[in-house]
Structure 1
Amino acid sequence: MLTFLHILLTGLFGALWDGVTAFSLGAYGGVRVVNGDHCSGIVEVNLLEQWGTVCDHGWDLRAANVVCMELGCGFAESTSHNAEFGLGSGVIALNSVQCTGHESSLIHCGLSLNKNSLCSHENVASVKCTGLLFQPRLSLLSPQSVFSSGESVRFYCNIMQLNRVSDVHLYKHEIATPLVTQRADPTQIRVDLTLSDVETFYQGSYSCQYSVTGGFPSQRISSPPSNFINITVVDLLTPQLWYNTSPEAPLGSVVKGQSFNITCSTLQHYPGGSFQLRLVRSNGTVRQSLPALSHAVTFTFPDAQSSNEGYYYCLYRVQLGGRTFVSRESQPLPIAVRDPDPVLSPMVISWLVSGVTFVVAVIIIFIVAKVVCNKEKKPSELERETRTCKFPCPSQGCMIFPRKPPVYVSSKQACFCYRCGQHLCCCIS
């Protein structure tokens, strides 16, 4: 018994010494599995450029996890004993392995070389790994990839059936944190990932990944990223509207017969867009459109008429990805068409009329005064004939011609004249 223990301890210390020496010389060449698939089978390690098996003394899920991670096969589902994958062959390279489960490679675990060991090919270590997580496939529920601001975008992420709960994530390109995460049931192979109330920030390329948790100790592994899908988010802002015309036109109006321009402008410009100008007037609505070659477009009206009077509205329209997007209409722009002002203003005309009236009145007064003066200075023929009063006069058959004022022959006589036949008779009053 003592001899057996002596041999065992001697072999153990010798193995540890040999292991330290071999690994310090860079003798470790990696790990592989045989007699199974690329992620399950008998474990073999490469030491000193020679492949050998590992004795299953102390072999557990921690060590199996390290092997699976080193192989890129996920994590260990189970460890196998009693030659589940057949008998080992060749040399038995390691007698035992001690791992915590967090090592990135088997070289970082506690290893002992197989020297004077009682391990046989029936007691070799083997492992079953979850295997590689296959690349998922991302698709859009909508046939179009262009969306309007405020809409929802639904993606589908197709994953492999893992028979375990997994988390499915939606990533935007160059953003490390997932925008959407959904829990998938063990039998679920397609997961709905929805972006709600999208804005222009969400425009870009998207991919999905899924991750599973397992192993001992528990750890999470993720699949490769899926294919990328690009989406466009259109946010059409309300356009601005203004007009230009001759400077003499009053605010909010244009002069009839003159030209005026109406300009529509927006901050965001998309290829293939157009501006639509809508005129609302009392007898109907008139629309006209121009292609948006830049951020603004100008509608020209060379000859303003009453038909151009009304309320103008502007909107921006664009077709992208098989869809038509229309902005809100601008605020109304009222425009009135007025007749041109006369050559002389009303005030000038009033002054002219007043002046002409004054001149005419002065002329009339002058003429009347002149006539009156002439009458007083030059008596008529009647006055000359009646300077001497003749009497008596017949009192019948005569027409009375009163003189107003009476013709005075002297300061004490006044005559009134009568016509009697062909004779003129005057009497003293």
Structure 2
Amino acid sequence: MYHLLMLVLWSSGLKAEGNHTTTEAVRLVGGDSRCAGTLEVKLGDWRPVDGFYWTLKEAAVACRDLDCGSAVSIRRREESSERSVWRINSYCVHSGSPLRDCLTSDSSSSILDVTCLDSVRLVNGTSLCSGRLEVKSNQWWSTVCEDDFDQQDAEVVCRELGCGAPSVLQEALYGEVEAPMWTKEFQCGGNESALLDCRSSGSDRNTCSPGKAVGLACSEPVRLVGGDSRCAGTLEVKLGDWRPVDGFYWTLTTADVACRDLDCGSAVSIRRRKESSRRSVWRIDSHCVHSGSALRDCLTSDSSSSILDVTCLDSVRLVNGTSLCSGRLEVKSNQWWSTVCEDDFDQQDAEVVCRELGCGDPSVLQEALYGEVEAPMWTKEFQCGGHESALLDCRSSGSDRNTCSPGKAVGLTCSEPVRLVGGDSRCAGTLEVKLGDWRPVDGFYWTLKTADVACRELDCGSAVSIRRREESSKRSVWRINSHCVLSGSTLRECLTSHSSSSIVDLICSDLLLQPIITVSSSMYGVSEAQQQGAQVLRRSTFTICCSIQPQYPGGSFQLTFTSSNSTHNYTEPAVNHTASFLFPAAEPAHQGSYSSEEEGAQGAE
């Protein structure tokens, strides 16, 4: 006996095509092919998609839904009047939901055009410019065998995808797949505009050894122009055409991604430059970049007169650290980055590196602090005097070192370039941060939580007080992105250039004295609580009083009571620098240890 299962396919808007499935709820119209044009989505009715806030990363989802390979360009087109559109939530799309599930109804005159590449694609990569190479022919995607593909073929693919030159070509780099495999050898000259325009071998290949699928990484199409070197100047990115990048909302952390894409070491300065008129620019979604995506994947089209200049340091860098001022030291020479051996590096050398990176003084110098790596190793001993402007300006030993003991790679932590000026001590005053030059910090949007980061970087404990002070005129300041700071980045990494008359003053807890605790009861009067404790009569009223010498107005005291099985916290506002905690009737449950801590007040605006 057997059971017969009948499988019925309902018409649900899905269409089988070759070795893939596409959705009929998404289309591109008005272009040269089904893979180029105005993006429209159907939810009841067909509507175009609003062009604001789109990046290549979202467009790649549309191309994938259409089985159209890779997204290679997006364009926001302004129409003469508004009409009904769909606005698409990018966070929803990036969570893995299809476009149709991420729509909200809206009206707009900004319409999105998308161009996909329907002949080649890179899959399973870390960006749209890397992955396992697949080629489409007769509606089927096929993996290319490494034996049929060389450097000149790679140059054609990277150019066709709108990426930079090939940087890595290695079999099985992005995973291995089953058949189908591409059956002919490509024979490109390197100047063709498309891979399928290249000549190919006359005979078909029947087999391809396991682990031989082509893995390709192209460099990102990013450049710095108009500066003193290829690692300094106006930041430009290519997506169809080369455009400068809008200078708003950039931080050093985001700029560091551009420096890394350019193999230019660390970002050491950013500057927002005003031009006389607006022009077409790329605006970069910083959340997209910090999630690990490449700059090109995070562009949106815009117009602006604010242009971004970036300076990278192409000679030394700190890697695998907790900030741009910490990590394992690497030095670049002859286009190679080499790790420095601890035996070849001392405190004076560290002072030069920290200054060159725009950081503060060295605070920790310890081998293998940020991981150990294989060769190459730097082969000479540095002999800095400590006042040089760059590590490679220092004298070095004449003889080369052949070996370096395991666990001896230099790990360096520099202090952050932060200071408080104009106060009674180094832990109080106007907050200033150095990024190229020292500037005060804009006083808007500050909380004690953000101020805590500044106090911690200064080794000044916790923030006690913040005050926004208005000056008579505007000047150049740093505005600090609080979300960036609270996510764990340092103040210097979260700066954007700004002008303001509002300046922030801070007081940190390093100035606070230990509170005095006294106990008064109806039985024993007033006594200062000693280490061995104080006694009160059962059921008598008692008061624990916390006080401190006058320093700052406002604030409060926290009293912590710890017994054998529990902990309780009590908070009272400070009045004349004193707070009293009243307990109506003493019971055995009140036996335990009491400690007091003064908490600062946020200053009046």
Of structures 1 and 2, the one scoring higher in RCO (CA 8 A, sep 6+) is 1
TM band (smaller chain): 0.3 to 0.5
Q: Which has the larger radius of gyration?
A: 1
User: What's the TM-score, normalizing by structure 1?
Assistant: 0.34
